[in-house]
Amino acid sequence: MLNLFQSQLTVPLLLAEHGVSPEAMPLAGFVTNSIFVGLIVLGIVYWFVSGATKNMSLIPHGKQNFAESVIEFLYNQVESIVGKKVAPTAFPLLATLFLFILVSNWFGLLPGVGTIGWGEGTGALQVSEVEKPLLRPVTADLNATLGMTLIVFAVWIYLTVRETGVWGFLVHTFGPKGGLKGAMGVVMIFIFFAVGLIEVFSILLRNLTLPMRLYGNIYAGENVLHTMSAMAGNNILLKILFQLPFYFMELLVGVLQAMVFTLLTSVYIKLSTEHDEHGEEHH
Partner 1 sequence: MNVILAANQFGLSVPNLIAQIIIFLIVFFILKTKAFGPILAMLEQRKQRIAEGEAKLEKISKDLAEANANAQAILDKANADGNRLVKEADESAKALAEKKQQDAIHEASQILAKAREAAQLETDKARSELRREFGRMVSDATSRVTGKVLTTDDQSRINQETAAQVSL
Q: Which is nearer to partner 1, 60 or 196 (CB)?
A: 60
Q: How far is the CB of 252 from partner 1 (least distance, A)?
A: 23
What's the rounded Cα separation, in Å, for the pair 152 and 156?
Answer: 6
For the chain, how are helix, strand and coil distributed in percent, rounded to 5? 75, 5, 20
Q: How far is the CB of 151 from partner 1 (least distance, A)?
A: 6
CA-based end-to-end distance of the chain: 61
Among 116, 120, 148, CA closest to 133: 116
Q: Which amino acid is at 251?
A: L
Among 276, 270, 280, 279, CA closest to 77: 270
Q: Which is nearer to partner 1, 96 or 115 (CB)?
A: 96
Q: How far is the CB of 179 from partner 1 (least distance, A)?
A: 42
Q: How far is the CB of 102 from partner 1 (least distance, A)?
A: 12
Q: Which residues contact partner 1 by CB under 8 A?
A: 5-7, 30-32, 34-35, 38-39, 41-42, 45-46, 49-50, 52-53, 56, 58, 60, 64, 67-68, 71-72, 75, 91-93, 95-96, 99-100, 138, 141-144, 146-148, 150-151, 215
Q: How far is the CB of 55 from partner 1 (least distance, A)?
A: 11
Q: Which is nearer to partner 1, 42 or 194 (CB)?
A: 42
Q: Which residues pair with 127 in a beta bridge?
A: 121
Show Cβ contacts of residue 52 under 8 Å, excluding neighbours closer than 6 positions: 63, 64, 66, 67
Q: How far is the CB of 193 from partner 1 (least distance, A)?
A: 28
Q: Which is nearer to partner 1, 93 or 113 (CB)?
A: 93
Among 75, 67, 70, CA closest to 46: 67
Positive or negative torsion for Cα 95, 96, 97, 100: positive
Q: Which is nearer to partner 1, 70 or 171 (CB)?
A: 70
Half-sphere exposure of 252 (CA within 13 A, CB side): 6
Q: Which is nearer to partner 1, 75 or 192 (CB)?
A: 75
